[in-house]
């Protein structure tokens, strides 16, 4: 289904007075967004929202990069938000505000906070892109959320339903919006990191000289978990966390000490201690899940984050540049020498254990 057709169909069929029960056409359409084949940026997912219990005055469709946020309650995401009159829809780079709501007793304080953060984040966007995304949304809905959406918008582009652009233009705009999302998410992660005074590029207990090399390695649970999304249950796979956990336990036998504690926003850090207990060079690891046998998106994501973190969390702080390692759930094929050319080693899971690129072999990360 084309993005254009989806937006027009929601605008022409949505009826707030019809409620949210099954059988209400527009609500069923919004609930089905996640199962539809839309032309989204690689790796992105979409969900439709028409309200729970009572229908929303401003229905919307969220477009998420799971590496940034999959929960509209927090983090950054993209959204097509309809005006209450259903005469326009705005593609906006949004801040999650539901969890923030609990911090502010007055709505005006919440909106002021969102506006301030939006202004700060807008300033970090590339000027060549951001100049065409300065629209201030106006949704005119009831309740507190529409006003919060307006305040929380970092960048936006409005479309009149009666003059909806063609599909190719909508796709180009969505691609641009995804680029803006990545830049804003980078800034937000780094700001978060800077705000944590205790989170320096250091190790628990002043180093890795502990009895158990896994003392600082506490990956998140890789168990499947249940997520309630749009009135249905889905079993989600935490493949990312499972990859880190499995590799961390493996790499200890290769003489490396893995650390996840206090390393946010980094996935994993490795060090190999010398014979005298001195700390060796640091390896910065970015883990990516290869989806449907196509490593392109995973490799792009790994390269971007490794270079970003190496620059901002090491070079900008006057620290030695770490070795860079992309960790993948399966063979990345021709991308292994591509990563090597960019100074990045690669390790991936194989049918017989772990395999890797030339520099990973040289470093003893794989045999």
Q: How far is CA 335 from CA 93, 224, 292, 366, 367, in A?
A: 31, 29, 16, 17, 20
Evaluate the CA torsion angle 294, 170, 33, 59 in order and state its sign: positive
What is the pLDDT, as a whole number, of residue 348? Answer: 95
Bigger pLDDT: 272 vs 35: 35
If asked whether residues 102 and 213 sit together in one domain, one would say no
- The answer to the question of residue 75 being in a domain is yes
If asked whether residues 225 and 76 sit together in one domain, one would say no
Q: In what order do the strands lie in the sheet with 155-160?
A: 45-49, 60-64, 76-82, 88-95, 155-160
If asked whether residues 74 and 165 sit together in one domain, one would say yes
Question: What confidence tier does 217 reach under pLDDT thresholds 50, 70, 90?
Answer: low
- The answer to the question of residue 235 being in a domain is yes
Q: In what order do the strands lie in the sheet with 323-328?
A: 256-259, 268-273, 279-288, 323-328, 344-350, 353-356
Q: What is the pLDDT of residues 163-191, one digit of tens each?
A: 999 999 999 999 999 999 988 888 777 66
- The answer to the question of residue 88 being in a domain is yes
If asked whether residues 206 and 151 sit together in one domain, one would say no
What is the pLDDT, as a whole number, of residue 328? Answer: 94
- The answer to the question of residue 346 being in a domain is yes
What is the pLDDT, as a whole number, of residue 274? Answer: 58
If asked whether residues 302 and 160 sit together in one domain, one would say no
Bigger pLDDT: 293 vs 348: 348
If asked whether residues 224 and 345 sit together in one domain, one would say yes
Tokens standing for residue 84: 């209450």
- The answer to the question of residue 255 being in a domain is yes
CATH number of the domain that residue 138 is part of: 3.30.920.90
If asked whether residues 218 and 323 sit together in one domain, one would say yes
If asked whether residues 135 and 54 sit together in one domain, one would say yes
Question: What confidence tier does 239 reach under pLDDT thresholds 50, 70, 90?
Answer: confident
* Residue 137 backbone phi and psi in degrees, to 5: -65, 155
If asked whether residues 52 and 156 sit together in one domain, one would say yes
Tokens standing for residue 12: 């022409």
Whether residue 290 has pLDDT greater than 50? yes
- The answer to the question of residue 214 being in a domain is yes
What is the pLDDT, as a whole number, of residue 203? Answer: 32
Q: What is the pLDDT of residues 135-144, one digit of tens each?
A: 999 999 998 9
What is the pLDDT, as a whole number, of residue 279? Answer: 58
pTM to 2 decimals? 0.58
Q: Which of 35-39, 111-115, 149-153, 194-198 has the lowest mean pLDDT?
A: 194-198
Count how many Cα atoms sit within 13 Å of the Cα of residue 275 in the half-sphere of its side chain. Answer: 0
If asked whether residues 267 and 309 sit together in one domain, one would say yes
CB 300 within 8 A of CB 261: no
Of 310, 334, 335, 330, residue with least CA distance to 320? 310
Question: What confidence tier does 286 reach under pLDDT thresholds 50, 70, 90?
Answer: very high
Whether residue 202 has pLDDT greater than 50? no
Contacts of 328 (CB under 8 A, 6+ apart): 243, 287, 288, 289, 290, 295, 298, 299, 302, 346, 347, 348, 349
Of 141, 170, 187, the position where a domain reaches its end is: 187
- The answer to the question of residue 182 being in a domain is yes
Mapped onto helix, strand or coil, the DSSP state of residue 327 is strand
- The answer to the question of residue 63 being in a domain is yes
Of 149, 165, 187, the position where a domain reaches its end is: 187
User: What CA–CA distance (Å, rounded) separates 56 from 142?
Assistant: 8
Domain that holds residue 317: 196-362
Q: Which of 136-150, 208-222, 353-367 has the lowest mean pLDDT?
A: 208-222
Mapped onto helix, strand or coil, the DSSP state of residue 312 is helix
Of 187, 207, 240, the position where a domain reaches its end is: 187
Of 270, 267, 264, residue with least CA distance to 214? 270
Of 216, 266, 219, residue with least CA distance to 244? 219
- Structurally, how many domains does the chain consist of? 2
Q: What is the pLDDT of residues 38-91, one digit of tens each?
A: 999 988 999 999 998 899 999 999 999 988 888 888 889 999 999 999 999 999
Bigger pLDDT: 196 vs 159: 159
If asked whether residues 88 and 151 sit together in one domain, one would say yes
If asked whether residues 227 and 352 sit together in one domain, one would say yes
Q: What is the pLDDT of the chain when averaged over all its residues? A: 84
Give the torsion through C-alpha atoms of 324, 268, 254, 363, to 10 deg: 10
Mean pLDDT, residues 291-317 taken together: 89
Mean pLDDT, residues 249-265 taken together: 85
């Amino acid at each position: 289904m084309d993005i254009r057709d989806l937006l027009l169909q929601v605008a022409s069929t949505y009826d707030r007075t019809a409620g949210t029960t099954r059988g209400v056409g527009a609500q069923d359409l919004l609930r089905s967004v996640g199962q539809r084949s839309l032309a989204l940026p690689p790796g992105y997912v979409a969900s439709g929202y028409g309200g729970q219990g009572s229908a929303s005055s401003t229905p919307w469709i969220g477009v998420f990069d799971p590496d940034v946020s999959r929960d509209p309650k927090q983090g950054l995401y993209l959204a097509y938000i309809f005006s209450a009159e259903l005469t326009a829809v705005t593609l906006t780079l949004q801040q999650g505000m539901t969890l923030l709501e609990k911090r502010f007793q007055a709505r005006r304080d919440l909106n002021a906070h969102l506006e301030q953060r939006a202004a700060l984040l807008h300033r970090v966007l590339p000027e060549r892109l951001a100049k065409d995304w300065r629209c201030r949304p106006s949704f005119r809905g009831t309740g507190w959320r529409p006003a919060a959406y307006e305040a929380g918008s970092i960048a936006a582009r409005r479309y009149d339903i009666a003059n909806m652009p063609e599909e190719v233009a909508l796709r180009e705009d969505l691609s641009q919006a995804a680029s803006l999302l990545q830049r804003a998410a980078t800034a937000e992660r780094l700001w978060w990191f800077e705000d944590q005074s205790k989170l320096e590029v250091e190790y628990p207990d002043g180093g890795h000289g502990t009895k158990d090399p896994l003392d600082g390695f506490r990956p998140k649970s890789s168990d499947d978990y249940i997520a309630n999304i749009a009135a249905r249950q889905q079993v989600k796979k935490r493949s990312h966390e499972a990859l880190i956990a499995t590799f961390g336990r493996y790499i200890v036998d290769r003489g490396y000490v893995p650390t996840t504690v206090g390393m946010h926003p980094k996935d994993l850090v490795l060090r190999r201690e010398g014979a005298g207990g001195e700390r060796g060079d640091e390896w910065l690891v970015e883990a990516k899940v290869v989806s449907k046998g196509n490593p392109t998106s995973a490799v792009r994501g790994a390269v971007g984050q490794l270079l970003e973190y190496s620059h901002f969390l090491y070079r900008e702080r006057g620290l030695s540049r770490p070795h860079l390692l992309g960790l993948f759930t399966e063979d990345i094929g021709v991308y292994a020498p591509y990563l090597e050319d960019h100074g990045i080693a690669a390790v991936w899971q194989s049918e017989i254990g772990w395999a890797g690129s030339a520099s990973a072999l040289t470093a003893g990360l794989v045999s």
